[in-house]
Structure 1
Amino acid sequence: MIKNSIRIFLTVSSILAAWYIPKRSFIKYLPVTLFSSSILLSEMFYFTIHKLWKAKGGPGVMTCNTSVLIVGPYFFANLWVFHLSKGKFLPYSLINIIADYIYAFPIISLFNKLRFFKLKISQTSFYLLLLSNALLNFIFQKLYEKGNAQNEQLISNKQF
């Protein structure tokens, strides 16, 4: 019962938070968010294969929890962090350092206590993984923006 309540809360709160993201920011940061979600899915797949996390109830429960966390809070939090930092490194880093710390330590501890899932790696290692993902996301976004700017310049220079 408590696990379903957590899933519902995470999904509903994510949808409500998404409602307030400006459309322009949503479109601008959607590629990096999809990239990041793909990376996270790969990491969760790796964690599952190597038994680095578990959820009571087996693979079906693990799949459900992964889906709820990635499509819900992770997806929209990523959009919000980029929107709030306006793509600048220092604010982006500070927001991620704080948010990832909160997730890696108190929230993961709460999930462990509630038996939502259990990580078999240290919380410090998980925190460092989150920070490295954030850095990878920032680099991807900058490269994506640079590529878009070059494409727009090429298009505007062509005469039809």
Structure 2
Amino acid sequence: MTLIFRISIVLISWFSIIFLPKSSFRKYLTVTLFSACVLLAETMMAIGFKWWKTKGGVKYTVYNAFSFIFGPFFAINMWIFHFTNGRFLLYTFINLIMDLIFAFGLNIFFQNVGAYKLKKFKSKHLFYTAFAYSFINYGFQKLVEKGDVNS
């Protein structure tokens, strides 16, 4: 993935956040940062277990991961939480659709532009992990909200 592409996806994603209400940004920042940490941990595991490969080695794997995690993933996570606030079934349905699009559509695009090449991971694994993370994130957000009420 080229530097221009990496910078573009981050800038475009963050441009969308300008339109997110400040209250939603503050409300969902904690869960989004938590999610980012989970994905960074997954990226480190992917390097060790050789789940996917990036041209340029570990350095470019990290660059690509940061571009994706703190670009489109960050913005999409914020928007999904904003639009589905407190509606678990809607949250689950939207995550199901988004994770299917990522795993079976965008995954092909990202591989074609050279962002990575799946090795020991398959599209279905991307889907399963992303969908599982959505439940972890929802639970984490509920804990954060519960903590806000009790403090």
TM-score, with structure 2 as normaliser = 0.94
Number of matched pairs: 150
Residue type at the aligned position of 1:24 = S
Residue equivalent to 1:150: 150
Residue equivalent to 2:131: 131
Deviations 1:65-86 (A, max 9, x none): 0110111111111111000101
What pairs with 1:42-81 in structure 2 (closer than 5 Å)?
42-81=41-80
What 5-or-longer segments of structure 1 have no aligned partner? 152-160
What pairs with 1:81-100 in structure 2 (closer than 5 Å)?
81-100=80-99
Deviations 1:14-47 (A, max 9, x none): 1211111110000011111111111111111101
Residue equivalent to 1:105: 104
CA deviation after TM superposition for structure 1 residue 9, in Å: 2.5
Residue type at the aligned position of 2:3 = N
Residue equivalent to 2:7: 8
Distance 2:111 2:36 in 1: 23
Distance 1:87 1:64 in 2: 34
Residue type at the aligned position of 1:55 = T
Distance 2:11 2:86 in 1: 27
The secondary structure found in structure 2 opposite 1:124 is helix
Distance 2:103 2:122 in 1: 9
Q: Which moved more, 1:109-118 or 1:136-145?
A: 109-118
Larger radius of gyration: 1
Distance 2:77 2:36 in 1: 9
Residue equivalent to 1:140: 140
- Indicate the RMSD between aligned Cα atoms, in angstroms: 1.2
TM-score, with structure 1 as normaliser = 0.89
Percent identity of paired positions between Structure 1 and Structure 2 = 37
Distance 2:56 2:149 in 1: 48
